[in-house]
Amino acid sequence: MNVARMLILGLGAIALTLSTAQAAGPHKTPVAPAKYLSMENPIDADDLEGRVLKKVKRLYKSKCKKCHGTEGDGKGSAAEDIVLKPTSFIVPGYMEDRKDGQLFWIIKAGSKDTEMKAFGPGTDVNLSDEEMWKLVAYMRKAFTK
Ligand code: HEC
C-alpha cells in the first residue's frame, strides 16, 4: 500500500469516529412526567433537624455518596470509572432550577442507560416515598449553592 492510500484510509477512519461521536450528542437528563413535576415535597428542608436529619444524612452516605460525593459535587469514589458522570448538585443554581418532583422522579425511577439506577419501591434498595422525599429535602438543605 502506498503512503497516499494509507493517509486517505487514516483520514477516513478519523472522520468516521468524529461523526459517530457527534451523532450520539450530549446527554440530556430525562425530564419527569408532568404528574411528577407538579408534586410538592411534603417535607420542608428547613424542618430537617436532629434525629431525622441524621438518619437521612446516613441514607445519603450509604446509597448516594459513592457517586455524588459527600459534598454533592459528583466526585464520589465510584465517579472516576463512570463515563456519564454523576450530577454535581452544587453547580450554582442547579438546585433552584430543579423541581422537587424532578429530583424525586429520578431517584425513584432512575435515568435510563446511565449509572443512575432506580431506588424506589420494588427495587433492590427499595426506598419508600417518604425516604425519597427526605433525600430531596436533604439535598436542598445541604447542596443549594
Ligand atoms: C452508581 C452511581 C450513582 C449512585 C449510587 C447514585 N447516582 Fe444519582 N446520578 C448518577 C448519574 C450518572 C446521574 C446522571 C443521570 C443523567 O443525567 O441522566 C445521576 C443523576 C442524579 C440526579 C439528577 C436529576 C436531575 O434531574 O438533574 C439526582 C437527583 C440523583 N442522581 C440523586 C441520587 C440519589 C438521591 C442517590 C442515592 C439514593 C443517587 N443519586 C445515587 C449516578 C449515581
Digit-coded pLDDT (tens) for 4-22: 666 555 555 545 454 444 5
73 Cβ closer than 6 Å to some ligand 1 atom: no
pLDDT of 3 > 90? The answer is no
Average pLDDT for residues 72-100, to the nearest whole number? 97
Reported as a pLDDT band with limits 50, 70 and 90, residue 31 is: very high
Q: Please report the DSSP string for the chain in residue order.
A: --HHHHHHHHHHHHHHHHHHHHHH----PPPPPHHHHT---SS-GGG--HHHHHHHHHHHHHHTHHHH-TTSSS--TTGGG-SSPPPPTTSTTHHHHS-HHHHHHHHHH--TTSS----STTSSS---HHHHHHHHHHHHHHH--
What pTM, to 2 d.p., does this model score?
A: 0.87
The residue to mutate among 43, 68, 113, having the most atoms of ligand 1 within 8 angstroms of its beta carbon, is: 68
The residue extents of the domains of the chain are 27-143
Digit-coded pLDDT (tens) for 120-142: 999 999 999 999 999 999 999 99
The residue to mutate among 27, 31, 39, 87, having the most atoms of ligand 1 within 8 angstroms of its beta carbon, is: 87
Digit-coded pLDDT (tens) for 40-85: 999 999 999 999 999 999 999 999 999 999 999 999 999 999 999 9
109 Cβ closer than 6 Å to some ligand 1 atom: no
- Residue 62's pLDDT is 98
- Residue 137's pLDDT is 98
CATH class of 27-143: mainly alpha
